[in-house]
Amino acid sequence: METFLFWFCGAAMVLGGLMTVVQRSAVVSAVWLIFAFVAAAGIFALLHAPFVAILQVLVYAGAIMVLFLFVIMMLQGPVLEGERRRMKPALWPAVAIPPLAVLVLVGTRIADHGTAAFTTPLPAGFGSPTHVAELLLGRYLLAFELISIALLVAIIGALAIGKEERKLPWK
């Protein structure tokens, strides 16, 4: 069962990624990207990371991609047309394959090296919301605080950059 799910989600994810890249229209790209992200959530679930899988769907495929789609819809027409690609599609594999070969080699070598394997027994509740929350509010509390401030800056920045006039809405 796990094997089937892996191949299913993996194939869907790679297909989604490829279609994101090759589709000429930004809207269609975005939809395929959502598809890829949902498939990636399946992969996370297979890797015993249920909480991450849920958030992948909620935050990534949900919120972030909706933001993308919203912007594309807002800009409409010109965004979708007139893109001159940098090189012929026939040449794309030439860009992709050498680094891919390196990363695949790295992946297989690390896996074969045996410092890490999937045989490590997992504690009960590994990757559950409770487990992640304990880490997030315990050991990683400082990181949690830092990210909250970074997000605040992003919100203020996006508002300040995106506003129509020179004045911020609250002024």
Partner 1 sequence: MEVTMTHYLVLAALLFLTGMTGFIVRRNAIVMLMCVELMLAATNIVFAVFARAHADGGGHVFILMNFAIAAAEAAIGLAILVEIYRRRRTVNVDDLKALME
Partner 2 sequence: MELLNINIPDWADLAWWLPEAILCGTFLVALLADLVVRGRRPWLPFAVSVAGLVTAGAYAVAALDPGTRTILGDLVVVDGLAAYFRLLFIFVGLVTVLFAWTAEEIMGRTRENKGEFFALTVLMTAAMCVMAEAKDLLMLYLSMEAVGIVSYVMAGYMRTSLRSTEASLKYVIFGAVSSAIMLYGLSLLYGMTGSMQFDGIRAGLMGGQVDDFGLLVAVILVIAGMSYKIAAVPFHYWAPDVYEGAPTPVSALFSVGPKAAGFALMIRFFYTTLAAGPDAAGSAGLVQQINWPLLIAVMSAVTMTYGNLVALRQLNVKRMLAYSSIAHVGYLLMGFVLLTETGLQAILFYLLVYALMNLGAFLFVVAINNHLRSEHLDDYVGLGFRAPWAGVMMVVFLASLTGVPPFAGFVGKWYLFIAVMDKQWFWLAIIAALNSVVSLYYYFRVVKAMFLTRPAEGANLSPLKLHWLQYVLLAVLAIPTLGLGLFFGQFTGLADRAILMMTTGF
Residues 89-108 that bind partner 2 (CB under 8 A): 102-103, 105-106
Total number of residues that touch partner 1 (CB under 8 A): 87
Question: Which of 20, 19, 54, 60 minimizes the C-alpha distance to 37?
Answer: 60
Closer of 4 and 118 to partner 2 (Cβ): 118
Residue 117 interacts with partner 2 (CB under 8 A): yes or no = no
Q: Which stretch binds partner 2 (CB under 8 A): 33-41, 70-78, 85-93, 150-158?
A: 150-158
Closer of 96 and 137 to partner 2 (Cβ): 137
- Residue 103: CB minimum distance to partner 2, A: 7
Residue 168 interacts with partner 2 (CB under 8 A): yes or no = yes
> Which residues form the interface with partner 2 (CB under 8 A)?
102-103, 105-106, 109-110, 113-116, 130, 133-134, 137-143, 146-147, 149-150, 153-154, 156-157, 160-161, 166-168, 170-171
